[in-house]
Amino acid sequence: MIETLSVELGDRTYPIHIGTGLLRDPAQFAPYISGRQVCIVTNETIAPLYLQALESTLAGYDVDACVLPDGEEHKTLHTYGKVLDHLMTHRHNRSTTLIALGGGVIGDVTGFAAATYQRGVAFIQVPTTLLACVDSSVGGKTAVNHPQGKNMIGAFYQPRLVLADLQTLESLPVREYLSGIAEVIKYGIIRDAGFFGWLEAHVGELLRRDAAALKHAVLTSCAVKAAVVAVDEREDGLRAILNYGHTFGHAIETLTRYEYLHGEAVAIGMVMATDLSMRAGLLEARDGKRIKVLIGAFGLPVMPPGNVTPEAMRSAMGMDKKAVDGRLRLVLMRALGDVFVTEKFDPGAFQDTLSAHGGLCED
């Protein structure tokens, strides 16, 4: 059974289809492909698994594939340039459609290429990781990294379709799967305390990748994100709550040169944002403990590596794209499901959080 949500953006509204076997169904793609040309952008890990199947699904089109190296370290202007080179070499025109087949890196790079090639061409997201299903494929954020900061070069550019085939999640390595769980937990923290409680009660099912539990988690996560994006597409206000833990997490990713997966870094970042919320007197300790316990129950990290110092964290967070006029903006919480964005936080409490989670400190 296919579940469908919509990201309501007026004449740019698009569906999110969630189900199994969708990758092999031509009818899922046909309404969203502009012309005859299709370029599938994927990576060296995903291509052997799903590229041939998708090419067969799109057999009626002029299809070619751009296969990129795998890994966050390749989310660069150089890789973005490879996609543009491929499109030029294969003479793709303005009616072409790009299909991102892969995780968050592929989705972000493909979306940025689609936003800029011939001033904008159609693209479709086919996420193959849990993190991409629930987060990066939805909402139109596209970007590549700069050596000094994550996602510093990019554009807001919405896909025409997000097609989440849950069968692709069966091939995910455990670490990649759990990285996606971190973003699922985030949605319970920021917007849906009931969903957070459901996650606490279904840790075992999700660790086993139970089909029904996984579908519910993806559907609920996507529903939260779609609702937020519909209100605030370009992160002028409400959408910033989706960054809970991300400013801390992005700093960890940058400082460790992406040794940590995005979800792993965000898990640590959420623990740190929660810690700061408690130190600031905003959040009750029992709610803070629930968050840390749930993150740990999924085997996700709750502390940065020992070589990440408070001073380095502070510097890296200052480079985050969410800093405004030199002022750091953070997402803090009052209770489960109740978060807010602020530039006004106690600098002493902030330093205490960094110190408690930096260097060789143990919690």
On whether both 199 and 159 belong to a single domain, the answer is no
78 given a catalytic annotation: no
Q: What is the pLDDT of residue 25?
A: 97
Q: What is the pLDDT of residue 149?
A: 85
Q: Which candidate in 82, 191, 239, 290 is catalytic?
A: 239
Alpha-carbon span 18 to 252, nearest angstrom: 32
Give the CATH number of the domain where residue 64 resides: 3.40.50.1970
> What pLDDT shows up at residue 306?
87
- Which is catalytic among the residues 262, 279, 290, 357? 262
Report CA 77 to chain centroid distance, whole Å. 19
Asked if the structure places residue 183 within a domain, the reply is no
Residue where a domain terminates, one of 105, 139, 171: 171
Domain membership flag for residue 269: yes
Q: Does 163 lie in the same domain as 15?
A: yes
Kindly tell me if the per-residue pLDDT of 261 is higher than 70: yes
Using 50, 70 and 90 to split pLDDT, how confident is the model at 162?
Answer: very high
**Same structural domain for residues 23 and 151?**
yes
Q: What is the mean pLDDT of the chain?
A: 95
- What is the domain extent for residue 320? 190-356
Tally of domains within the chain: 2
Check pLDDT > 70 for residue 322.
Answer: no
- Regarding whether 245 and 321 lie in a shared domain, the answer is yes
| pTM score | 0.92
Find the mean pLDDT for residues 80-93.
98
Residues 6 or more apart whose CB falls under 8 angstroms from that of 271 comprise 245, 291, 292, 295, 302, 303, 357
CATH of residue 326's domain is: 1.20.1090.10
Band (pLDDT 50/70/90 cuts) for residue 148 is confident
- 86 classed as catalytic: no
Question: Which one of 191, 225, 279, 357 is the catalytic residue?
Answer: 225
Q: Would residue 243 show up in a list of annotated catalytic residues for this protein?
A: yes
User: Is 175 in the active site?
Assistant: no
Give me the catalytic one of 145, 243, 264, 279.
243
Whether residues 153 and 194 fall in one domain: no
- The answer to whether residue 60 scores a pLDDT higher than 60 is yes
**Do 209 and 170 meet the contact criterion of CB atoms below 8 Å apart?**
yes
pLDDT at residue 363 in the model: 37
Examine the domain organization and report whether 100 and 165 are in the same domain. Answer: yes
